[in-house]
């Protein structure tokens, strides 16, 4: 129903890079007409130019949603293009890391309904996950609209408040890069054990993708899936003794990595 509202009243997409393109692709696939979408993008791809959306044609007077998909460092320069929509009924949805609801409200007006979200790049294949929170002006209705928009590219979780958004950035927003690096590291380790680069990468990539799909489809927790693979005193147990070392293993390393990402998100918000 909320996508019907967007189709009827229109949506403005400010920025259409990789994430903006993933979202736009999801909305079009979900049935939002291209003619209901206005995109502001200084460097449009060929696909965007041929998508049928209103491209760099200004903005409608009162769209249902304005989605902010520019990089955080470009937000200050980009927001004035949407100044006329502030303090009205248009819901502002931001996907920018480090840009607080307060910062957007300062630029657009204190009565502007705002939802802040943190999606991730698996949205490009319809398997993203987004954490979101909103201000009082957005309310339950605004969160519902934002949820419908983000569900077009994956799952959505609602946060207790904006204080949790940097943790989401550290876990899932930046998380795909950790997984890609895991593939790189597994392949390099395979090469160190005598495999060719091509075979090692194929094994690592398929293993991570397959394990991820198994975790996605299984009703068992990740801890049980790990146990299912681990025979007592076997090869997996030997590897896990290294990876699960309480001082030097994967757990404490990843805790430090997620904290570093979350801390950087907080720095960007200052």
Say what the pLDDT of residue 98 is: 81
**pLDDT confidence tier of residue 12, bands split at 50, 70 and 90:** very high
pLDDT in tens, 176-228: 999 999 999 999 999 999 999 999 999 999 999 999 999 999 999 999 999 99
Q: Which two tokens stand for residue 101?
A: 């609801």
Region 43-65 average pLDDT = 94
Q: Return the CATH number of 2-162, one of 3.90.1150.10, 3.40.50.150, 3.40.50.720, 3.40.50.1970.
A: 3.40.50.720
Helices in 157-221 by DSSP H: which ranges? Answer: 165-168, 175-192, 197-217
Q: What is the mean pLDDT of residues 86-93?
A: 95
Query: What's the pLDDT at 153?
Result: 92
Least confident interval from 69-83, 102-116, 143-157, 218-232: 69-83
Whether this model's pTM surpasses 0.75: yes
* DSSP summary character for residue 90: P
Polymer length of the chain = 270
Q: Is the pLDDT of residue 137 over 70?
A: yes
Query: Domain boundaries in the chain?
Result: 2-162, 175-268
Distance CA 50, CA 69 (A): 20
Q: What residue has token string 């229109």?
A: 10
Please give the average per-residue pLDDT across 14-25, as a whole number.
Answer: 92
What average pLDDT does range 114-139 have in this prediction?
95
Model confidence at 1: pLDDT above 60 = no
Percentage with pLDDT > 90 across the chain:
84
Query: Residues 19, 69: contact at Cβ < 8 Å?
Result: yes
Instruction: Give the domain 175-268 fold.
Output: ProC C-terminal domain-like fold (1.10.3730)
């Amino acid at each position: 129903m909320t996508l019907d509202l967007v189709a009827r009243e229109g949506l403005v997409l400010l920025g259409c890079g990789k994430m903006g393109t993933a979202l736009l692709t999801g909305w079009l696939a979900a049935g939002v007409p291209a003619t209901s979408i206005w995109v502001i993008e200084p460097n449009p791809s060929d696909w965007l130019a041929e998508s049928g959306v209103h491209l760099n044609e200004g903005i409608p007077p009162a769209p249902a949603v304005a989605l902010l998909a520019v990089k955080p460092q470009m937000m200050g320069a980009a927001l004035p293009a949407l100044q006329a929509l502030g303090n009205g009924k248009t819901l502002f949805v931001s996907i920018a890391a480090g840009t607080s609801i307060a910062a957007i409200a300062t630029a657009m007006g204190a009565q502007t309904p705002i939802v802040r979200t943190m999606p991730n790049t698996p949205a490009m294949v319809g398997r993203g996950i987004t954490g979101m929170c909103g201000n009082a002006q957005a309310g339950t209705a605004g969160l519902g609209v934002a949820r419908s928009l983000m569900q077009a590219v994956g799952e959505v979780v609602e946060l207790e408040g904006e204080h949790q958004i940097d943790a989401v950035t550290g876990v899932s927003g930046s998380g795909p890069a950790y997984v890609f690096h895991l593939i790189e590291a597994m392949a390099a380790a395979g090469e160190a054990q005598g495999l060719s680069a091509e075979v090692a990468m194929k094994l690592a990539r398929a293993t991570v993708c397959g394990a991820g799909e198994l975790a996605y489809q299984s009703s068992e927790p990740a801890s049980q899936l790990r146990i299912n693979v681990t025979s007592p005193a076997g090869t997996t147990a030997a590897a896990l003794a290294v990876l699960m070392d309480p001082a030097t293993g994967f757990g404490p390393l990843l805790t430090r990595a997620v904290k570093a990402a979350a801390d950087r998100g907080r720095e960007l918000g200052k």
